[in-house]
A and B are shown apart, each in its own frame.
Chain A
Amino acid sequence: MSDVPNTIGKVAAPISPSVETNKPARPASGFTATRFKKITQVGIKSIYSHGLRSLLTVLGIVIGVAAVIAMLAVSEGASFEAQRQFRDLGASNILLKSVKPAEVEQSSSQGFGPPQAIIYGLTFSDITTIRDSIPGINNVIPSRIVKKNLWNGGYQVSSDVVGTAVDYPISRNYNLRAGRFFSESEVREHANVIVLSDEVARSLFPIDNPLGQSVRIDSDYYNIVGIMEAEGYSNLGQNQAGSSNAAPSRVFIPFTSSKSRFGETTTRQTAGGTESETVELHEAIIQVDSQELVIQVGEVIDSILARRHKDIDYAIEVPLALLRQAEESALRDQIVAGAIAGISLLVGGIGIMNIMLASVTERTREIGIRRALGAKKRDIILQFLIEAVILSGVGGLIGVVLGIIIPFVISAIWGMTTIVTPLAPMLAFTISGVIGVVFGIYPSMRAADMDPVEALRHE
């Protein structure tokens, strides 16, 4: 023992009330980084020595954390999607659409002889009434939509030809990539002018600039005056999956031209043969003065149309209302996510408490040894608490990784927009750490409260 400094010998007589204590406990350096590291190392060792058991223990935490991150990503994505559509459609717009009523469809299929044109949908008098009877509407933009083939020499594209008014792009926040939209005078003159979508322009004119050239629809030629920007064609009426096919191929001609070139009645090829229908208006965008009025105006329009139409051959879309719905459903998703996470984390926490209690019983003797060798109660508490936090932390980490992967899988399989915000993993991970502390306290206290003598005797 010559190599260990001998510090004994400071005490003169033990009974004397000497203030000097020999061998004082080192100035309790408290829980320094090294101390913390040491305890953590021991904790990791102990968890590692029961690998499978530890993994099963943290499963609840893993599922809870992964679920909350994934669900938040989905709901975040949905609300992002709704907001994007809302922006596209305009906050103060109401969209009216003609919809073929179910009863008409039935009666037409029973008919014999020459196909009879089905008449349904919105009429001019509808929108005039709406415009004139509701205050706060500053513009109504009608649209007729007819599916046609567009030709440029040998190139051909099938597209929705939208006959509309000059305000259409402004009302929908659409921008032109090149050229201009048609003018008021061209509308008056029933001019043969056309504005192409980016997609249509690229398909029909793969090499040269389409501006100033013309496309053929049926037997008429239309001068190309403008090309729309590629973005901004999505439409709340069509779901995300469908929008990429239908919307981008829209082209625009003056409303008047559509009426005089294509006529009132349009013919469609259906599975059972040809079908004719007469629709005055396919769509109308109603612009309201202020956002606050949009929802009320929408309700009034609904009641006006309900009075004027026997069948429900129209649909009203209020983007703001849809946004509200989306927000509500996002909130609902978040509450559900929270509940699932809460339950799962509770189960996970109980699992951790369970395993920690088992570990404390198993290691009773170790606790006794440590106590004999100078461990204070708080040393023992800290040791088991750190172990519980490591367990739940590892679970939380696995959960975060899974929770980030799952949204990617969801996006890949179902094409849903998912957004993982950095907040969600951070929050989930923090909660898992807190779970470790909360559910680790009781087992740790039990470990610390053991009688050292009893603990040392334990087999």
Chain B
Amino acid sequence: MLDTLPVTRECVASLTDIRKTYTMGSLSVEVLHGISLDFMRGDYVSIMGPSGCGKSTFMNILGCLDQPTSGSYFLGADDTSTMPDDELSGVRGARLGFIFQSYNLIQQLNVLENIEMPLFYQGYPENESHEIAMSLAKRVGLETRVHHKPFELSGGQQQRVAIARALAVDPLIILADEPTGNLDSRSGAEILDLFDELHEQGKTLIMVTHSDELAERSARWVRLRDGLVESDERRA
């Protein structure tokens, strides 16, 4: 697969024969039956599929929140599939940015502190992380709201805070799980516009969605079915 790629585009994540089995007592169920996928820098991917296809499990593995039963997953230069927990936390914090359907901001913290959080766990000095968080707040158009708490913001604004937070460590991949699922169409469109901008800047975005409308904005479509890759297409 590598040789079919343009030379300029390097691979940021490479999954080979990923399998995941859940064991409940004597019953074990294989959810992923061997998924192999490579994600390139600058990819804008939609991952789609009917419910029960293993989408969530795949995303959890992609987000290093869970590890595969077998197979390898290189994120950057390291195989994460066998990493101990602490290292996995480090990889999540340094190389991944998460955007959730329900924003998942911490309610006691204000906008700025929420954006700073991944930097805090990476050990950035306070003034540096403050600077980064401020510029990101400006980047998503919330520079006037930095001292507000999440519950004082609209859904669209909260999701923009979450995007700023996902960008804070300048991750290899930004993972979005139904990012517009909780938003009205106007706010959703704003978020997608922001995604387009990130894509144009060369960020790597991987998005899980049910919505065809959403998926249309992306440049690559991966369909999963019954724990296998059904199709993998790129925009021509």
Contacts and interface: CB of A to CB of B under 8 A. Distances in A.
A374 B121 contact: yes
A371 B120 CA distance: 12
A375 B77 contact: no
Contacts of A366: 106
Interface in A6-33: 6-9, 11-16, 18-29, 32
B63 A372 contact: yes
A25 B90 contact: yes
| Size bracket of the B interface | 35 or more
B-side binding surface: helix, strand, loop or mixed? mixed
A3 B89 contact: no
Interface residues of A, number: 52
B60 interface: yes
B94 A24 contact: yes
Given A13-B11, A23-B171, A369 B106 contact: yes
Given A3-B135, A28-B123, A11 B14 contact: no
A42 interface: yes
B126 interface: yes
Nearest to A20: B77
B171 A12 contact: no
A194 B120 CA distance: 85
Interface string B115-126: 001101111111
A369 to B, nearest CB: 5
Given A23-B169, A28-B123, A456-B65, A370 B117 contact: yes
Interface string A360-397: 00000110111111111111000000000000000000
B205 interface: no
A375 B104 CA distance: 15
Nearest to B107: A366
Nearest to A366: B106
Contacts of A35: 120, 123
Given A25-B123, A27-B123, A373 B118 contact: yes
Nearest to B124: A26
A26 B13 CA distance: 21
A456 B100 contact: yes
Interface in B94-133: 94-95, 98, 100, 104-106, 108-109, 117-118, 120-126, 132
A369 B12 CA distance: 24
A369 B75 CA distance: 20
B66 interface: yes
Interface in A69-101: none
11 contacts: A4-B132, A11-B12, A13-B2, A18-B77, A21-B78, A25-B123, A26-B122, A49-B108, A371-B65, A372-B65, A374-B121
Interface of B: 2, 10-14, 41, 60, 63, 65-66, 74-78, 85-86, 89-90, 92-95, 98, 100, 104-106, 108-109, 117-118, 120-126, 132, 135-136, 139, 165, 167, 169-172, 198, 201, 203
Given A35-B120, A369-B105, 7 more contacts: A23-B94, A34-B125, A34-B126, A373-B92, A374-B121, A374-B169, A376-B121
